[in-house]
């Protein structure tokens, strides 16, 4: 049974606050970044379609959450992250990156700007410790971790905003894309944002662990299908959203990954990796993260070799791959030499000895139908 295993060397997995809820729903669990995570409930494909067609709820409490607070918070964050957060209005969330001095991507993150000079930062679980150290190094005690005390739920799909609004009230209904706010719900505070990682509309909620079961129940009783990490991966891949550790890491820079929108250079402000990124931006690309769709039946998986037809030496290896339930085709991503990273180019992927023809396409693989 597959499933990414990033569990710590001691092998002890952290259980989610809502573990019993997941178990009662028949979840299959898998280790992920030290957490015992629901991989699927009824089945990955059904959960995937539920999110594309209706609404699903994911427990994403493994994502690391940290506060940076105080009048200097924006300036401190600007010094460690690629996006110019000082321009982000209160009540807005934005995607950004942590880079190394060499311009490699150490993590991709989400920043929420809340009233009172408070910033919530969302880190990938696998990078939680080193990301928090990065914040601590510049912010000291102004940075604090909140991961274990709170639960994070993602509600995603075409019916998600209606469900979130019915559960959380007008406070959510008034939010625009990438707005964030703190709402009162049943006598507690819920931090909400109209964000996600599926290519669908929806939102993410952070609530104290003691109130989390009631919020989970409100979403599931309101019609959300519980969905696990398996569906989360196929959904994000169809939306061409990169996964840190697969599609981006310290050996890739934002421009070749198609993440230049998350890097601000023109404000001139220093941040970790800026000099390398100025140079990378000025250089011609040598490779680009490209999006591949199988032209015949078959499934693409991470690490499979990509070839030019009839050649022995691979030009790349897939960084991610899956069967796309929406397209009913294999899809994957790979860093291709720029001469090949063009829509319409045909290549071959070595699927366990079989040469499967694939075509380079524009991202994303799946686009929501227009209303």
Question: Whose Cβ is closer to other proteins: residue 119's or residue 304's?
Answer: 304
| 248 DSSP 8-state letter | B
* Closer residue to other proteins, CB minimum distance, 218 or 299: 299
Which of 297, 367 has the CB closer to other proteins?
297
Binding part of the chain for other proteins, among 70-78, 149-157, 158-166, 292-300 by CB under 8 A, reads 292-300
Of the ranges 11-19, 80-88, 91-99, 296-304, which one interacts with other proteins (CB under 8 A)? 296-304
Nearer to other proteins, 13 or 45 (CB): 45
Alpha helices in the chain (DSSP H): 19-24, 44-53, 73-78, 128-139, 160-168, 170-173, 212-221, 229-238, 274-282
Q: Does 297 bind other proteins (CB under 8 A)?
A: yes
Q: How big is the site for other proteins, counted in residues (CB under 8 A)? A: 23
Site string for other proteins, 230-249 (x = CB under 8 A): x---x---------------
Among 285, 303, 339, 354, binds other proteins (CB under 8 A): 354
Q: How many CB atoms lie within 10 A of CB 349?
A: 27
Question: Is 362 one of the binding residues for other proteins (CB under 8 A)?
Answer: no
Tell me the backbone φ, ψ of residue 308, rounded to 5 degrees. -75, 140
Instruction: For strands 56-59 and 225-226, give the pairing.
Output: parallel
Distance between CA 32 and CA 90 in Å, rounded?
33
Nearer to other proteins, 137 or 327 (CB): 327
Of the candidates 131, 264, 121, the one whose C-alpha atom is nearest the C-alpha of residue 180 is: 121
Helices 160-168 & 212-221 angle (0-180, nearest 10): 130
Candidate list 298, 337, 357, 364; residue touching other proteins; CB under 8 A: 298
Q: Which helix (H) or strand (E) holds 278?
A: helix 274-282
Footprint (CB under 8 A) of other proteins, residues 4-43: 28, 39-40, 43
**Minimum CB–partner distance for residue 335 and other proteins (Å):** 23
Name which of 243, 241, 228, 242 is nearest 50 in CA terms.
Answer: 228
Cβ burial of 303 (10 Å; 0-12, 13-18, 19+) is exposed
| Least spacing, CB of residue 136 vs other proteins, in Å | 36
Report in angstroms how near the CB of residue 355 gets to other proteins at its nearest: 13
> Contacting other proteins (CB under 8 A), which of 45, 146, 302, 345?
45
The Cα angle at residue 182 between residues 202 and 193, in degrees rounded to 5:
20
Task: Identify which of residues 47 and 179 has a Cβ nearer to other proteins in the complex.
Answer: 47
Q: Is 361 helix (H, G, I), strand (E, B) or coil?
A: strand
CB of 227 to other proteins, least distance (A): 12
CB atoms within 10 A of CB 12: 9
Indicate which single residue of 103, 273, 325, 332 sits in contact with other proteins (rule: CB under 8 A): 325
Look up residue 104 and give its DSSP letter. -
Q: Which phi and psi (to 5°) does residue 207 adopt?
A: -140, 155
- Interacting residues toward other proteins by CB under 8 A: 1-3, 28, 39-40, 43-46, 48, 230, 234, 297-299, 301, 322-323, 325, 330, 352, 354
């Amino acid at each position: 049974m597959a499933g990414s295993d990033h569990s710590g060397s001691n092998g002890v997995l952290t259980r989610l606050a809502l573990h019993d809820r997941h178990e009662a729903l028949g979840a299959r669990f898998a280790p992920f970044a030290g957490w015992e995570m629901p991989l699927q409930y009824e089945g990955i494909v059904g959960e995937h379609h539920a999110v594309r067609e209706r609404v699903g709820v994911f427990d994403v409490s493994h994502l690391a959450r940290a506060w940076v607070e105080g009048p200097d918070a924006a300036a401190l964050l600007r010094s460690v992250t690629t996006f110019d957060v000082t321009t982000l209005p209160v009540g807005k969330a934005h995607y950004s990156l942590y880079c190394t001095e060499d311009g490699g991507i150490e993590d991709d993150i989400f920043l929420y700007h809340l009233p009172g000079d408070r910033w919530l930062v969302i880190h990938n679980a696998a990078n939680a410790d080193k990301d928090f150290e990065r914040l601590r190094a510049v912010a000291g005690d102004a940075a604090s971790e909140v991961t274990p005390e709170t639960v994070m739920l993602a509600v995603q799909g075409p019916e998600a905003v209606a469900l979130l609004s019915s559960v959380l009230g007008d406070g959510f209904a008034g939010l625009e894309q990438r707005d964030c706010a703190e709402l009162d719900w049943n006598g507690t505070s819920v931090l909400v944002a109209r964000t996600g990682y599926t290519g669908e509309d929806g939102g993410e909620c952070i609530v104290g662990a003691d109130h989390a079961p009631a919020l989970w129940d409100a979403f599931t009783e309101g019609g959300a299908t519980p969905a696990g990490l398996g569906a989360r991966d196929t959904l994000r891949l169809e939306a061409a959203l990169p996964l840190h550790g697969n599609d981006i890491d310290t050996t890739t820079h934002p421009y070749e990954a198609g993440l230049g929108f998350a890097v601000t250079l023109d404000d001139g402000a220093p941040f970790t990796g800026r000099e390398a990124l100025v140079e990378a931006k000025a250089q011609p690309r040598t490779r680009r993260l490209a999006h591949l769709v199988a032209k015949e039946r078959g499934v693409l998986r991470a690490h499979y070799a990509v070839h030019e037809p009839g050649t022995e030496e691979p030009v790349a290896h897939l960084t991610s791959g899956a069967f796309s339930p929406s397209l009913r085709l294999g899809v994957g991503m790979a860093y291709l030499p720029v001469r090949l990273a063009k829509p319409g180019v045909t290549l071959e992927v070595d699927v366990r000895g079989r040469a499967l023809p694939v075509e380079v396409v524009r991202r994303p693989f799946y686009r929501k139908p227009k209303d």
